[in-house]
Structure 1
Amino acid sequence: MNNMLRSPSVGPIVGHTTSTSTRIWMRGSEEAPGRTVGVAALYDAKGNYVAKSACYLRLHREYDRTGVVDFTKLKPNTTYSVRIGSLTLDSTDDMANVEDEELLKKLPKAEALCGDLELLIPEESVATFTTYQDAGEKGLSFIFGSCRYPGLLWAAKKADRIFGSIHEKFQSKGAPQFLLMVGDQIYADKIHRQIPLERADTPSEFHERYVTALSSPNMRALLRSVPTYMILDDHEIEDNWVKGRMDRDADKRLLFQTAISAYMSYQWLHCPRNYGPRGEVQDADGDKLFYSFECNGYPFFVMDSRTQRVRDDKDYVLEDNHLLGYPAKPSAPNYQGQIDILCAWLLSQQKKIGDRPKFIVSPSIFVPNGVETAGTDERSRRKKCEDDSWAAFPETRRQLLQTIVSGNIQNVVFLSGDVHCSNLAKITFTHKTTGQLPLRAFCITSSAFYWPWAFADGDPLSFVHDSKLEGDDFDVNDDVIMSYKAYGFEQDDNFTRIDIVGKEIVVQNYDRNGKALGSKTKVTLA
């Protein structure tokens, strides 16, 4: 039987999901020479078509023929599947310029293509997901990690292995709700940013990186069956990327534009996209890369800690460094920086949900700092300014911590990646005259999914373990000091499962084969 539809060339990917909605992403077939549109339909857990759910979706040419479809008015805590494919459209007039909206109006009703959808190979065209529970403190479980080096030549299968183990965790009893990938989903610069070999710098090369990464067998099976949230770090653009490179070099500006276009096509499209041009909250289709979401009543703010970062690499003036772009200023009251939006979000969440954990996703590690940046001498200062983590951005860190202290914001949990060494840190605050404050915060780092050279970086001894003993406390203001203790370092390829049970966060790392690394760590919340 002939089929009018083709399976996605990449995907489908289950993206942003709530208790009543989901977003499904796909990339159209590579075999189609003309314009393509997507076709999707929703089915219940028994495989029955959900009436009137079939629809078309735009596959944006500017986004490499990728697109998303949103299904709404779903039932909470319910399993569904989506069948999705693409339809090739030809025109007898090569000069015709028909807009997508006009074209979609001319097509037959999407229900007419449900039979064709059901003929596509399920492993290439069916996404399965479970909506979240209604909001409320009912516990939470999720898996997160970062840094998937693609592997060279024969090592490509090794780079994909861990995602099979993650997939198994989502198929078992008591499965987590979602997956969070916190940076370096691709490596545009496989060798080194200064070495042209294996370095992406054209649209087709960036697209190839994503197609290869997202189409590996285990990764593809995982992403089409688990709600997944992503955010970029440096290797989606270039190692240790800062905004100043784009300002100083026209070639770097072109590189940035090319890299971000690919990132938006393959990662950003299926994220919530809920902040507008001035940081205002929108229901959908905002233009900022940072976003927020919640699951089971637990809130998450996912930072863009890469594209806006300002760092003084010339004069080593730490006070001029800003991780999240410039903060707001009195002379421009209608504009907010990302740090201001994050601080306002924290204050609103504390008011809304009290001491329930509030998760901040920061691809760059919040703590622990590297041992070379500890101290206050000139050498440490220069090392801080060269650092790729929060140590290089004291003003951004200070504004955030001052908000936590002044707003009495309990149980802030930073989720980080990047450093190829998983660990956990407990953050405390001490008043210089009255003693330790009752505030608690934490940083959980999970990295790397796959990194073949553990001997080259990520050494646990290269990090500060006790900030008081190693001279790495941080002045929040004139009266309060932040301290931390880090532990549970793990260099093996790994991913991390987080479970919130009552007043505890349970943290467990797993290796590439899904075997537990060490024992579970229980963190007591305030």
Structure 2
Amino acid sequence: MSIQLRHAFDSEKLVNCLNDAIVIGHVTRSTAKVWVRSKHCGKHYVVLSDTPIQPIGINIDSPDTNTTLQNEFETGGQGQVRPIALDDTTDRTHCVEFQGLQPATRYWVALLADQSVPARRHWRSGYEIPASFKTQVANAQSLAFGFFSCHDPYKKGHGPDDIFQDILNRLNELGGDFIIAGGDQVYVDSSTKEFDIWRWVTDNKAQLKPYFETQDQAGLIKELSYFYRFIYRLYWQSAHFQKLLRSYPTYMIWDDHEIMDGWGSLTEEELSNKLDTLFEWEDSEFNLFIAHAMFHAAAQVYQEYQHSHNPTTPSLPNVPLANSQWDYSFAHSLANFYVLDQRGHHQFQNPEGYDLLGPKQFARLSQWFENIPSSAKAIFIVSPVPVVHWSCTVVNMADIGSYKDDFRDEWDHEANHQERNELLDLAFDASQKHKVPVIFLSGDVHCAASFKLKRRANSGTVYQFTASGVTRKSAPFVSKAISCAQGTLSGCNVLTTFERLAFSTENNFGIIKLFMDAEQTYLVAEHISTTDEEDEILIKQVRLI
């Protein structure tokens, strides 16, 4: 059965896929997470050095590769060597955390395979195209980071993947600090038939029936995880994408397309219907057995490829799926960040309330707001779905048919008003208390926009910054038609107005710049989009403070 399942979806022989890779993850003043993948199973080494790594002159052909590398990189304390074992249980991926690093220092990393690994070359990654990062600066006076979302290079009409080189170039110009990938880093339900996991499952349910009959959900999860891993290897193989991720610390969060379109915004009955074949209403228990196994597989692979190099939280495989925490926080000298998970515990009509975040996550967020230091110059909340964007009339009137899951995802949907109001209360109160702006960073909507939100009874200022469709095809006419330029948020317990400051429908990414100059704080948002002219980008700057 395993061979049949894999053969039916295995297009890796026909397309280029990711083999060896390095991703720089969460970095502080003294620690750094480094994620690696190799084409091969077996013993490998992740090497860190405070000087560029030059393979020439390093003899790794000796039987004891580990000792050779330690003598080369650890003598004198200039580097570290971490032996790791890679196997197929995690798709030959691993994340190591280096400690004891110096602040404001640049480091280089590389991945090597041990001599016991039957590889043509044992220097796997980081030796030709460098992989490097700089630890955080104590008492930094400036911050610049990139933000992008919605990477789909396979939908017809998609944007060029050299936009990732544009992100890298702009960060290099600004002396950037890190990147945030705000959701939909892959599309497992791609509109391209060959790469749509859910379409394949719906068409091949007969092959999955034995797992249901024996209630072997663990076995089904194991098989389905192969499909999700394939999509990641397919979507992440771009040389420009890989160069960006190995050049700056990268923080990631998933959205629905890492799982399925609109995940969490359907009732159990509606979710079951998604897996019914045309004109055939089938066993809902069987359908839901498959759907929940799909979610578990998606979460497992999300952990492997994305969350493992974020700040550590209790999550798979160390805790059960139901208790896994995907939301997290991190800090910079000038700002504090909280990254919301809107998929892991998203449940439409949740009897405990908090459909989008779940009550436990909302409690963690509330506690985090209480502990923001007085030194913060700005507060950033990553919300994969924007707090304000679409017309509230469209969001609530179009909650029908195939669009119901998309609009139920929105904070402005009437089912989410109470949760959104509590979130905005936290944001406005924190802004007023600390006299700094709160900025929501979002993706999802396949266009770029900035909004300013105000309340008469509160002196705080809240912004919505959205950068979406880094490569995913946009829908410019629809986006312009149903996005609001100004107005009042519907369903608010306190009158809350919004004004749109910028809007774009081209493939885009964002840059946020926060800096101090003579005790004055400046916060500037950049919407950067591709143009029809080769090698040109359009930068629209919006000064927030």
Which TM bucket (shorter chain)?
0.7 to 0.9
| Per-residue CA distance 1:100-128 (angstroms, 9 max, x = gap) | xxxxxxxxxxxxxxxx96x5564568521
Q: Which amino acid aligns with 1:483?
A: T
Equivalent-residue separation in structure 2 for 1:57 and 1:197 (angstroms): 31
Structure with more of its chain in helix, by fraction: 2
Q: Which amino acid aligns with 2:540?
A: S
Q: 2:469 matched to which residue of 1? A: 448
Equivalent-residue separation in structure 1 for 2:311 and 2:467 (angstroms): 23
Task: Give the Å deviation of 1:233.
Answer: 0.3
Contact 1:162-1:514 at 8 Å conserved across structures: no
Is it true that 1:493 corresponds to 2:519 in the alignment? no
Equivalent-residue separation in structure 2 for 1:450 and 1:456 (angstroms): 18
Task: Give the Å deviation of 1:504.
Answer: 2.4
Task: Give the Å deviation of 1:442.
Answer: 0.8
Equivalent-residue separation in structure 1 for 2:200 and 2:26 (angstroms): 28
Q: 1:99 matched to which residue of 2? A: none
- DSSP-derived class of the 2:487 partner: coil
Q: Which amino acid aligns with 2:255?
A: D
Task: Give the Å deviation of 1:464.
Answer: 1.8
Q: 1:511 matched to which residue of 2? A: 529
Is it true that 1:130 corresponds to 2:134 in the alignment? yes
Contact 2:26-2:311 at 8 Å conserved across structures: yes
Q: 1:203 matched to which residue of 2? A: 225
Structure 1 residues 50 and 299, CA, compared in 2 at 3 Å: closer, same or farther? farther
Q: 1:484 matched to which residue of 2? A: 498
TM-score by length of 1: 0.76
| Per-residue CA distance 1:423-448 (angstroms, 9 max, x = gap) | 101111123xxxxx211111100011
Equivalent-residue separation in structure 2 for 1:140 and 1:288 (angstroms): 27
Q: Which amino acid aligns with 1:343?
A: S
Is it true that 1:146 corresponds to 2:144 in the alignment? no
Q: 2:3 matched to which residue of 1? A: none
Equivalent-residue separation in structure 2 for 1:390 and 1:260 (angstroms): 23
Q: Which amino acid aligns with 2:356?
A: L
Q: 1:178 matched to which residue of 2? A: 178
Structure 1 segment 422-433 matched on structure 2, within 5 A: 422-431=448-457
Q: 1:162 matched to which residue of 2? A: 163
- DSSP-derived class of the 2:513 partner: strand
Equivalent-residue separation in structure 1 for 2:327 and 2:27 (angstroms): 17
| Per-residue CA distance 1:65-105 (angstroms, 9 max, x = gap) | 21011111111111110121233768xxxxxxxxxxxxxxx
Contact 2:188-2:197 at 8 Å conserved across structures: no
Contact 2:315-2:326 at 8 Å conserved across structures: no
| Per-residue CA distance 1:398-422 (angstroms, 9 max, x = gap) | 2222334555444211000000111
Q: 1:475 matched to which residue of 2? A: 492
Equivalent-residue separation in structure 1 for 2:366 and 2:147 (angstroms): 23
- DSSP-derived class of the 2:544 partner: strand
Equivalent-residue separation in structure 2 for 1:179 and 1:484 (angstroms): 27
Greater Cα offset, 265-274 or 446-455? 446-455
- DSSP-derived class of the 1:395 partner: helix
Task: Give the Å deviation of 1:137.
Answer: 5.5
Structure 1 residues 497 and 514, CA, compared in 2 at 3 Å: closer, same or farther? farther
Is it true that 1:272 corresponds to 2:311 in the alignment? yes
Task: Give the Å deviation of 1:210.
Answer: 0.8
Q: 1:323 matched to which residue of 2? A: 356
- DSSP-derived class of the 2:48 partner: strand
Aligned residue among 22, 25, 28 for 1:12: 22
Structure 1 residues 371 and 56, CA, compared in 2 at 3 Å: closer, same or farther? same
Structure 1 segment 231-270 matched on structure 2, within 5 A: 231-242=253-264, 249-270=288-309
Is it true that 1:40 corresponds to 2:46 in the alignment? yes
Q: 1:434 matched to which residue of 2? A: none
Q: Which amino acid aligns with 1:272?
A: P
Equivalent-residue separation in structure 2 for 1:494 and 1:253 (angstroms): 34
| Per-residue CA distance 1:139-180 (angstroms, 9 max, x = gap) | 210010100112258x78x542211211222333x3211111
Equivalent-residue separation in structure 2 for 1:257 and 1:64 (angstroms): 16
Aligned residue among 375, 378, 385 for 1:357: 378
Aligned residue among 342, 353, 371 for 1:305: 342
Equivalent-residue separation in structure 2 for 1:40 and 1:381 (angstroms): 49
Structure 1 residues 88 and 45, CA, compared in 2 at 3 Å: closer, same or farther? closer
Q: Which amino acid aligns with 2:492?
A: D
Where structure 2 has 5 or more consecutive residues not aligned to the other structure, the ranges are 1-17, 54-71, 202-223, 273-287, 317-322
Contact 2:474-2:505 at 8 Å conserved across structures: no
Equivalent-residue separation in structure 2 for 1:197 and 1:71 (angstroms): 36
Task: Give the Å deviation of 1:455.
Answer: 4.2
Is it true that 1:49 corresponds to 2:69 in the alignment? no
Task: Give the Å deviation of 1:9.
Answer: 2.3
Is it true that 1:415 corresponds to 2:441 in the alignment? yes
Equivalent-residue separation in structure 2 for 1:262 and 1:82 (angstroms): 24
Q: 1:520 matched to which residue of 2? A: 541
Task: Give the Å deviation of 1:216.
Answer: 1.0
Is it true that 1:227 corresponds to 2:227 in the alignment? no
TM-score by length of 2: 0.74
Equivalent-residue separation in structure 2 for 1:494 and 1:446 (angstroms): 6
Task: Give the Å deviation of 1:40.
Answer: 1.5
Structure 1 residues 451 and 412, CA, compared in 2 at 3 Å: closer, same or farther? same
Q: 1:345 matched to which residue of 2? A: 368
Where structure 1 has 5 or more consecutive residues not aligned to the other structure, the ranges are 1-7, 91-115, 278-285, 328-336, 432-436
Contact 2:52-2:108 at 8 Å conserved across structures: no
Q: 2:215 matched to which residue of 1? A: none
Structure 1 residues 44 and 450, CA, compared in 2 at 3 Å: closer, same or farther? same
Structure 1 residues 360 and 406, CA, compared in 2 at 3 Å: closer, same or farther? closer
Task: Give the Å deviation of 1:466.
Answer: 1.1
Task: Give the Å deviation of 1:340.
Answer: 1.2
Q: 1:28 matched to which residue of 2? A: 38
Task: Give the Å deviation of 1:490.
Answer: 0.6
Q: Which amino acid aligns with 2:304?
A: S
| Per-residue CA distance 1:313-352 (angstroms, 9 max, x = gap) | 9xxx9x9562101x2xxxxxxxxx1011111111211xx2
Contact 1:245-1:252 at 8 Å conserved across structures: no
Structure 1 residues 133 and 196, CA, compared in 2 at 3 Å: closer, same or farther? closer
Contact 1:151-1:159 at 8 Å conserved across structures: no
Greater Cα offset, 438-447 or 205-214? 205-214
| Per-residue CA distance 1:235-266 (angstroms, 9 max, x = gap) | 00101111756786222101111111111111
Contact 2:113-2:124 at 8 Å conserved across structures: no
| Number of aligned residues | 446
Structure 1 residues 215 and 197, CA, compared in 2 at 3 Å: closer, same or farther? closer
Equivalent-residue separation in structure 1 for 2:24 and 2:266 (angstroms): 35
Task: Give the Å deviation of 1:520.
Answer: 1.5
Please provide the CA RMSD for this pair.
3.4
